[in-house]
Amino acid sequence: MTVDITLIVLMAVFFAAGIYLLLERSLTRVLLGLILLGNGANILLLAMSGGGGKSPLYVAGTPAEDYTDSLPQALILTAIVITFAVTAFMLGIIYRSWVLGREDDVQDDPEDRRVADQPSYDYEDDADIAADTTEFSDPDPASDDPGAPDPAGARADRTGDTR
């Protein structure tokens, strides 16, 4: 199996440009980035599928190595359909954004800004805890404190429960 270097370079350029466009704030550029990523994935599948061969229809006497695997072609077709569906969905989002706000850019949400500006507080690391956290710190086991540890004999004497 030989891999065409031109397809690999083209795929890398499509992926790089697609990721760059996905990081933009304009929804139209995000859409173009998704399209480039989808085309890069199709080229990747095409480049890794191997060289051409005979049609995958059975002909008596033809060895199995001469046939072309049709799975990469089916995967590419599926990827084209998925890319088309995502493109249609994004076009709907872009249109709705334009109709409602007359702009194509994604704005910062004020609530997200407020949360990002808050100081971080981690309940596990920042919570105040007592210095002694052991549960066996009560010196008088016969006390009536319901949270105090209770030896098995003292409980059986009071409640009749022998566990």
Cα separation, 54 vs 59, whole angstroms: 10
Max mean pLDDT range (44-53, 80-89, 98-107):
80-89
Phi, psi of 38 (to 5 degrees): -65, -40
Assign 80 a pLDDT band (cuts: 50, 70, 90): very high
pLDDT for the residue numbered 31:
95
pLDDT for the residue numbered 104:
82
- Is residue 54 classed as helix, strand or coil in its secondary structure? strand
Residue 21 has pLDDT above 90, yes or no: yes
Classify burial at 87, counting beta carbons within 10 Å of its beta carbon; exposed 0-12, middle 13-18, buried 19 or more.
middle
pLDDT for the residue numbered 101:
85
Residue 147 has pLDDT above 60, yes or no: no
pLDDT for the residue numbered 28:
92
Q: The whole model's pTM is what? A: 0.61
**CB-based contacts of 34: which residues, under 8 Å, 6+ apart?**
18, 22, 83, 86, 87, 90
Residue 68 has pLDDT above 90, yes or no: no
Residue 132 has pLDDT above 70, yes or no: no
Assign 34 a pLDDT band (cuts: 50, 70, 90): very high
pLDDT for the residue numbered 67:
78
Q: What is the mean pLDDT of the chain?
A: 80
Cα separation, 95 vs 72, whole angstroms: 34
pLDDT for the residue numbered 50:
74
Domains and CATH numbers, the chain: 5-51+70-108 (1.10.287.3510)
